[in-house]
């Protein structure tokens, strides 16, 4: 009996460490099945636009190799999908004209991440075949000397998946993309849904949150997918920054859940070393209504005084 109790408490402590214990940060590669969120999108109303959903994501999603200044994630792609991550930030490219596979790299130092893009698309597709109500957003950034060739190869590769990808510029409703990969446009890959970075974080701190959330709600959220990145610079360890930034992000999510401030415009959060706890909190946020505004895409909102929180 004593042994069983000790084993129980050991597993409880281990699980707590894996989740991140409210810090928003996790650097443990293990992921207990109790933390899986494989079908959280099934409960979203069909008419909900992707831009109105709080979506947990990973920054440099496949950067698991390369040393302390490079590594941004600890979970494999399969584990990220199981825990509930639905936005992937992927970097890939070709450096030789005879190269036929598009290899995955980190976004700064270009270390090979032991995968190619074909494998990535297959793993996502296999996941979506089982979890048919989910959708995965994929933002692809191309690197190397042959970007135009890579883009052509990617488009050919996408063609093989046909009805299981979304490459239109418009932001779809969830019913249009269940079971599909939704590509997001980037500066180097020009197919996919329109999206915009927000600036909730400045100098690695949350600033002017109330004002920025107002602008996002009135101008962007019904029309564009909003992506918040919490990334380190080239000379700073992603892990050390994530320890601090993820806590702020976790507190922001908790605050919006507690105050019921229509948190739909939280949009996508692209994180380094996210915890299962923060992901669970994110996926439990219900989407809000589209803002009732006459402002159209491309128009500027009325200017208001900026306040710092």
DSSP conformation letters of 70-105: T----S-HHHHHHHT--EEEEEEEE-STT--S-EEE
The length of the chain is 309
Cα separation of 89 and 96, whole Å? 23
Q: What residues pair up with 87 in beta bridges, in sequence order?
A: 57, 137
154 alpha-carbon distance from chain centroid:
21
Can you say whether the dihedral through the CA atoms of 55, 288, 50, 290 is positive or negative?
negative
Residue 124: per-residue pLDDT: 98
Q: What angle do CA 123, 272, 199 make, to 5 degrees?
A: 115
Domains of the chain, start order: 13-283 (3.20.20.190)
**Phi-psi sector, 229: left (phi>0), alpha (psi -120 to 50), beta:** beta
Alpha-carbon dihedral angle through residues 119, 125, 279, 140, given to the nearest 10 degrees: 60
The tens place of each residue's pLDDT in the chain, 309 residues long, gives: 554 444 444 444 444 444 444 899 999 999 999 999 999 999 999 999 999 899 999 999 999 999 999 999 999 999 999 999 999 999 999 998 888 899 999 999 999 999 999 999 999 999 999 999 999 999 999 999 898 889 999 999 998 888 899 999 999 999 999 999 999 999 999 999 999 887 666 666 766 666 666 666 665 566 788 888 876 666 789 999 899 889 988 888 887 776 555 555 678 999 999 999 999 999 988 786 554 543 444 444 443 333 333
**Tokens at 19, concatenated:** 């989740």
Q: For the residues of 104-137, what is the DSSP string, one character each?
A: EE-SSS--EEEEEHHHHHHHHHHHHHHSTT-EEE
What per-residue confidence (pLDDT) applies to 5? 43
Distances from the Cα of 180 to the Cαs of 3, 129, 134, 287, 288, in angstroms?
A: 47, 9, 8, 20, 23
Residue with tokens 């976004």: 107
Token pair, residue 155, equals: 């488009």
User: Tokens in use for 188?
Assistant: 């180097």
Answer whether 195's CB lies under 8 Å from 226's CB: yes
Q: Cβ(198)–Cβ(218) under 8 Å?
A: no
> Alpha carbon 13 to chain centroid distance?
28
3 state DSSP class of 308? coil
Q: How far apart are CA 107 and CA 179, in angstroms?
A: 28
DSSP summary character for residue 34: G
Q: End-to-end alpha-carbon separation of the chain, Å?
A: 52
Nearest CA-CA partner of 268 in 200, 219, 205: 200
CA distance 195 to 78: 25
**Residue 79 exposed, middle or buried by CB count within 10 Å (0-12, 13-18, 19+):** middle
């Amino acid at each position: 009996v004593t042994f069983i109790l000790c084993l129980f408490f050991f597993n409880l402590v281990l699980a707590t460490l894996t989740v991140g214990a409210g810090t928003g940060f996790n650097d443990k590669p293990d992921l207990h099945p109790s933390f899986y969120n494989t079908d959280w999108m099934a409960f979203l109303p069909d008419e909900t636009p992707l831009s109105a959903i709080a979506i947990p994501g990973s920054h440099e999603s496949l950067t698991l190799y390369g040393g302390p200044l490079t590594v941004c994630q600890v979970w494999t792609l399969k584990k990220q999908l199981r825990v509930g991550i639905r936005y992937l930030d992927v970097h890939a490219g070709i450096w030789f004209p005879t190269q036929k596979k598009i290899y995955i790299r980190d976004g700064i130092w270009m270390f090979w991440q032991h995968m190619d893009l074909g494998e990535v698309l297959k793993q996502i597709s296999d996941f979506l075949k089982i979890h048919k109500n989910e959708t995965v957003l994929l933002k692809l950034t191309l690197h190397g000397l042959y970007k135009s060739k890579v883009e052509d190869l990617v488009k050919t590769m996408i063609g093989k998946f046909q009805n299981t990808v979304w490459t239109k510029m418009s932001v779809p409703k969830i019913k249009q993309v269940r079971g599909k990969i939704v590509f997001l446009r980037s500066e180097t890959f020009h197919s996919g849904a329109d999206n915009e970075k927000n600036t909730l974080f400045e100098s690695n701190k949350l600033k002017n949150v109330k004002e920025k959330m107002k602008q996002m709600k009135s101008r962007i959220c019904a029309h564009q997918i909003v992506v918040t990145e919490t990334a380190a610079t080239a000379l700073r360890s992603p892990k050390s920054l994530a320890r601090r930034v993820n806590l702020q992000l976790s507190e922001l999510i908790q605050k919006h859940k507690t105050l019921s401030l229509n948190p739909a415009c939280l949009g996508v959060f692209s994180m380094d070393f996210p915890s299962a706890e923060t992901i669970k909190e994110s996926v439990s946020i219900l989407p809000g209504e589209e803002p009732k505004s006459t402002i159209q895409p491309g128009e500027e909102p009325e200017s208001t005084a900026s306040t710092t929180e």
